[in-house]
Amino acid sequence: MHSNSRIAVAVVAIVAALIAAAPAEAGKTSRALNEALDEVMAQPGSPPGVSVLMQRGRGIEFLRRGVANLESGVPMRSRQHYRIASVAKAYSGAVALGLASDGKLELTDTIGDWIPKLLPKARDVTIAQALQHTAGLPDYIRQDEFIDILVKDPARYISPKEILSFVERKDTAFKPGSRYEYSDTDNIVVGLIAEKASGKQYEDLLRKYVYRPAGMHRTSLPRTTRMPHPYIHGYDLSEDEPPFDASELINPAGAWASGGIVSTARDMNKFIRAYVGGELFSRKVGRAQNDYVVGSSQPPGPGRNRATLGLFRYQSRCGTMYGHTGSFPGYRAMAMSTASGRRSIVFTVNSQIVPGQGSQEVSDLIRHAQEDAICHLLR
């Protein structure tokens, strides 16, 4: 297939999907988890690589299969960069809760209080509703104008305000707060309100409320398609075509606070432990996360999924974890921690294998392996 045609096909498939360590020594890692990772890699349509970073107390265990780069054969490593996709929504949650802790905003503040001209038909939506996906905001990634831009020029920079322009004339899908519906628009709103309330750029807020307090040094919010080195190459696995390297295909600015962050497994692990453990905001503000609604992250996490502010609860057969999942062209990610922040998992796949994009069987096996990782961690 002609390269430009392949790119167009890959972008269309990606948009559709958005809508909808070498093995450890025997005895240290559960046989079930090792077998689950092997099974993922043995299937037709399997990703080039998969890795699992697990931390119990101070001890870190890193398992990997396959490669981070099909051309060079470099294996998956915990300090390689990759696109964390919608896991970035938890970061915007941390920023909002941090600002609330500092008295810069209230979680009950509305779009009308801070950015009324950007979404005039959604003035009553609160920050808390946006963080919990109960706002009813129409999803910008479903809009024809946005899709056309991705297909014609996937590397183009799209500003946060332009992102909201794709849905500015649309009504909310339901009365805000009445039910759950995942929308990428929600976290764009949170990011813009955070900027307005603080007078600072969102990148600066990430550094203040997330990167520095969590001790993260390899995380960024890029404005171009270029990836920092070293990085895990992410692949599109379209049927009957060779793997297509989508690592630097689409400008992540089009996802911004909703999914544009680039990080490493090590940094993500630091973040999720600090966030779930309550280290990034006050205990008083953190109590707002005790209210859960039925709702799944995208892609679904292991076990039963419930949503709170910027976070999901995953109730597995072996115990409960808290975190977020995400998928982006070439990548599928998950970060989760126990409530104390003492035990954590970061699960990385270098292909966007989710329902509607890639093998459903492989997607299900990935979710099964994530639950086996929980069982191993909580044994």
Mean pLDDT of the chain: 93
Residue 294 backbone phi and psi in degrees, to 5: -70, 120
What local confidence, expressed as pLDDT, does residue 6 receive?
54
Are 373 and 56 in contact by the 8 Å Cβ rule? The answer is no
Q: What is the pLDDT of residues 156-186, one digit of tens each?
A: 999 999 999 999 999 999 999 999 999 999 9
Report pLDDT digits (tens) over 100-126: 999 999 999 999 999 999 999 999 999
What percentage of the chain has pLDDT greater than the value 90? 89
At 355 the pLDDT is 81
CA 87 distance to own-chain centroid: 2
- List strands edge to edge, sheet with 311-316: 59-66, 49-56, 343-349, 331-337, 319-328, 311-316, 304-308, 293-294
**What are the domain boundaries of the chain?**
3-377
Position 25 scores a pLDDT of 37
Give the lowest-confidence range in 6-20, 210-224, 285-299, 341-355: 6-20
Q: Which CATH number is associated with domain 3-377?
A: 3.40.710.10
User: Residue 29: what pLDDT?
Assistant: 66
pLDDT exceeds cutoff 80 at 28: no
pLDDT computed for residue 27 by the predictor = 42
Read off the pLDDT of residues 306-318 as tens digits, 9 standing for 90 and up.
999 999 999 999 9
> Quick one: what percent of the chain has pLDDT higher than 70?
92
pTM of the model: 0.93
pLDDT of residue 357: 75
| Confidence band, pLDDT 50/70/90 cuts, at residue 239 | confident
pLDDT at 8: 52
Q: Which residues pair with 326 in a beta bridge?
A: 333
Q: Is residue 20 scored above 70 in pLDDT?
A: no
